[in-house]
């Protein structure tokens, strides 16, 4: 009934979709298995992509040849570049999306990708022989063979939904949980744990009073995620709105605390620290009188509203009463209550840098199964797992991103070396080289790599080379173009910056904090004519490189200094337990994680600098 596949992907969420697309694009025969074909790429939580650090990840996925950026652009209803008031390392693109169109665009993209087949059914187990995965078993007893398997089960593994004192099995509201895989993996020697996440109630937008809320517009000149020209920035946008909880809301919520599964012990899994439920917020921050609520439309034409900031698992009657005490929500009609969901995950220290498991060969984990939270984090892992599953079936070298290459590299490195005891979320602060890992240069960093492995298209590669060449030419010309005091001093006075006393280059002027590219255009007519020949992204790239040149250089020097450790490989069967000079914790952690390089060993929690020195000596460096 089925051919033998190169890659089977289990689960069609953000991780599964990226994994299936990447592997197929690279020439592998792929089967994407999902319990429901109608919920492929469902945005289970908020209808948005990107945000702080997450926007950088979406751009990186796009630069490598993944689809999340393109799908986000095609389904976008609003765009904002966050943190514009800060330095460029902090600028983060974020889109509000049409939930239904997002899922539709992903499904269409996969259907039009050659080499992708689909199968709708629960996968209940794996076929494993001699420590190697050979395929999957379905709930009705079918066996489908493959050379590799990527598990992207999201919140479905033994998922339990909690609403007040009610609980029922499910991977998402209206969908059943997946059973069998966790139990088999534990029998095979994997360590498993429980995590929880939650979602807020959805309400009828026609029942809200927006005049009592603060309107949040998109950017005046919106950008987009993808570096390709196949998507276009929005010409029209939908607003979001901001309101706040108050003391009455908090008091009403507190009446349900005795029936809260979070407080009475029914939920065992740890929830996300940086996206807590509303009951957790008012319990932990009792001194605060109000909390911000983002009122987000679910699409262009729907009246459904996502109440961002009001995630809860309290009883539905308490949710309803509390909602109606929020300003602007006095007459709110609820479509469905919020809920918490508890699910199985597998501590990611059991994975290699490729996201292949250490215990079972050719088996890969990606997304929430690894203890992460967020669409973007899941999609990036799916991309890397799909790439590596495809490369391994083709007997090619693995694809590994370093911490200095991408936020995706930071994410995976953190997971496999440090593990996580709570849902992991990416922040700019997690990256030590964040000035190198900006959202504007993801193509310059990664597209060459994506092209080499057969994922990034030739069109994408040529576009990146053109941008690189134009930026280099512009940087050189700005050094050469010099202006005399009498030709620009009056313009400099108008800007509010110091005048010059001798001929000065455009590059030197641009280093001033008061002067940007737009100011340069107004300083001299010849310069304006010249600069207007370049596209916006080239002007922005050149400006960032000039203004932050010394800081970027310092980070690059740090990367070079650390590269020796990153390139120093440790034999796979190295006996850490035999080195008695190592600390007991160091021996235990090194033996468990089995780092592939000295650099990776240096980032394992519990491995001290003295452990590292001893290890270096024993490795004969």
Q: Residues 192-235: pLDDT tens digits?
A: 999 999 999 999 999 999 999 999 999 999 999 999 999 999 99
Q: Residues 7-66: pLDDT tens digits?
A: 999 999 999 999 999 999 999 999 999 999 999 999 999 999 999 999 999 999 999 999
Residue 171: the pLDDT is 86
Residue 116: the pLDDT is 98
| Residue 342: its H or E element | strand 339-345
Q: Residues 52-106: pLDDT tens digits?
A: 999 999 999 999 999 999 999 999 999 999 999 998 989 999 999 999 999 999 9
Mean pLDDT of the chain: 94
* pLDDT at residue 269 tops 80: no
Q: Residues 520-557: pLDDT tens digits?
A: 888 888 888 999 999 999 999 999 999 999 999 999 99
Alpha-carbon span 336 to 320, nearest angstrom: 10
Residue 610: the pLDDT is 87
Alpha-carbon span 224 to 239, nearest angstrom: 17
Lowest mean pLDDT among 38-47, 461-470, 611-620: 611-620
**What integer is the mean pLDDT of 291-320?**
97
Q: Report in angstroms the alpha-carbon separations of 467 from 204, 461, 474.
A: 45, 10, 10
Alpha-carbon span 63 to 80, nearest angstrom: 20
Residue 407: the pLDDT is 97
Residue 459: the pLDDT is 96
Residue 621: the pLDDT is 53
Alpha-carbon span 439 to 60, nearest angstrom: 8
Q: How confident is the model at residue 274 (pLDDT cuts 50, 70, 90)?
A: low
The model carries a pTM of 0.94
Q: How many Cα neighbours within 13 Å face the side chain of 109?
A: 27
Q: Residues 234-254: pLDDT tens digits?
A: 999 999 999 999 999 999 999
Render 444-493 in DSSP notation, one character per residue: HHHHHHHHHTT-S-HHHHHHHHHHHHHHHHHHHHHHH-EE-HHHHHHHHH
**Which residues touch 609 (CB under 8 Å, ≥6 apart)?**
none
Q: Residues 149-204: pLDDT tens digits?
A: 999 999 999 999 999 989 888 888 888 899 999 999 999 999 999 999 999 999 99
Q: Which residues of 3-39 are buried (b: 16+ CB within 10 A; e: fewer)?
A: eebbbbbbbbbbbbbbbbbbbbbbebbbbbbbbbeeb
| Residue 304: its H or E element | strand 304-308
Residue 605: the pLDDT is 82
Q: How confident is the model at residue 416 (pLDDT cuts 50, 70, 90)?
A: very high
Q: How confident is the model at residue 1 (pLDDT cuts 50, 70, 90)?
A: confident
**Which residues touch 194 (CB under 8 Å, ≥6 apart)?**
268, 269, 342, 343, 344, 345
Alpha-carbon span 576 to 592, nearest angstrom: 10
* pLDDT at residue 456 tops 60: yes
* Sheet (strand 334-336) strand order: 214-216, 240-244, 292-297, 304-308, 202-204, 334-336
Q: Report in angstroms the alpha-carbon separations of 21 from 18, 110, 202, 454.
A: 5, 6, 31, 12
* Sheet (strand 92-97) strand order: 48-50, 92-97, 76-82
What three-state secondary structure class fits 572? coil
First to last CA, the chain: 55
Yes or no: say if 284 and 133 are a contact pair by the CB < 8 Å rule. no
């Amino acid at each position: 009934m089925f051919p033998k596949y190169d890659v089977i992907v289990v689960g069609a969420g953000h991780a599964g979709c990226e994994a299936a697309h990447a592997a197929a694009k690279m020439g592998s025969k792929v089967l994407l298995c999902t319990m429901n074909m109608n919920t492929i790429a469902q945005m289970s939580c908020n209808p948005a992509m990107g945000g702080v650090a997450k926007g950088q990840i979406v751009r990186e996925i796009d630069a490598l040849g993944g689809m999340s950026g393109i799908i986000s652009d095609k389904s976008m209803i609003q765009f904002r570049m966050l943190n514009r008031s800060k330095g460029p390392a902090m600028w983060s693109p974020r889109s509000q999306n049409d939930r239904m169109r997002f899922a539709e665009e992903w499904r269409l993209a996969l259907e039009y990708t050659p080499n992708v087949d689909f199968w709708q059914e629960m996968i209940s187990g794996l076929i494993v022989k001699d420590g190697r995965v050979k395929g999957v078993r379905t709930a009705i007893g079918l066996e489908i063979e493959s050379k590799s398997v990527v598990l992207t089960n999201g919140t479905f593994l033994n998922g339990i939904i909690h609403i007040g004192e009610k609980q029922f099995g499910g991977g998402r509201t209206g969908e059943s949980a997946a059973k069998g895989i966790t139990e088999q993996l534990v029998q095979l020697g994997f360590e498993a744990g429980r995590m929880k996440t939650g979602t807020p109630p959805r309400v009828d937008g026609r029942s809200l009073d927006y005049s009592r809320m603060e309107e949040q517009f998109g950017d005046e000149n919106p950008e987009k995620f993808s570096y390709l020209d196949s998507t276009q920035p929005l010409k029209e946008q939908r607003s979001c709105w901001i309101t706040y909880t108050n003391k009455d809301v908090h008091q009403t919520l507190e009446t349900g605390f005795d029936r809260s599964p979070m407080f009475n012990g029914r939920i065992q899994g740890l929830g996300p620290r940086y996206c807590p439920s509303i009951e957790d917020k008012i319990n932990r921050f009792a001194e605060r009188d109000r909390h911000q609520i983002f009122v987000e439309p679910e699409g262009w034409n729907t009246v459904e509203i996502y109440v961002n900031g009001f995630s809860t698992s309290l009883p539905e009657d308490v949710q309803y009463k509390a909602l109606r005490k929020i300003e602007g929500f006095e007459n709110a009609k609820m479509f469905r209550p919020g809920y918490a969901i508890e699910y199985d995950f597998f501590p990611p220290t059991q994975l290699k840098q490729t996201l292949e498991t250490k215990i079972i060969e050719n088996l890969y984990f990606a997304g929430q199964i690894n203890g992460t939270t967020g669409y973007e984090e899941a999609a990036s892992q799916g991309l890397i797992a799909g790439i590596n599953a495809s490369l391994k079936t083709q007997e090619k070298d693995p694809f590994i991103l370093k911490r200095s290459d991408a936020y995706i590299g930071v994410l995976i490195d953190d997971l496999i070396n440090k593990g996580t005891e709570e849902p992991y979320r990416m922040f700019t602060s997690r990256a030590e080289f964040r000035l190198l890992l900006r959202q504007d240069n993801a193509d310059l960093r990664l597209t060459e790599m994506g092209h080499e492995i057969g994922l990034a298209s030739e069109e994408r590669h040529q576009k990146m080379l053109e941008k690189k060449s134009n930026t280099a030419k512009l940087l050189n010309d700005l050094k050469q173009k010099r202006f005399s005091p009498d030709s620009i001093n009056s313009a400099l006075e108008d800007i509010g910056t110091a005048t010059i006393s001798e001929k000065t280059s455009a590059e030197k002027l641009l280093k001033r904090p008061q002067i940007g590219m737009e100011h340069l255009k107004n300083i001299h007519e010849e310069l304006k004519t010249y600069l207007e020949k370049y596209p916006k992204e080239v002007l922005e790239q050149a400006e960032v490189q000039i203004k932050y040149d010394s800081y970027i250089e310092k980070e690059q020097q740090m990367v070079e200094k650390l590269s020796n450790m990153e390139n120093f490989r440790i034999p796979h069967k190295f006996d850490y337990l035999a080195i008695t000079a190592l600390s007991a914790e160091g021996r235990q952690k090194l033996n468990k994680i089995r780092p592939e390089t000295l650099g990776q060993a240096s980032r394992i929690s519990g491995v001290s600098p003295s452990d590292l020195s001893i290890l270096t000596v024993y490795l004969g460096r």
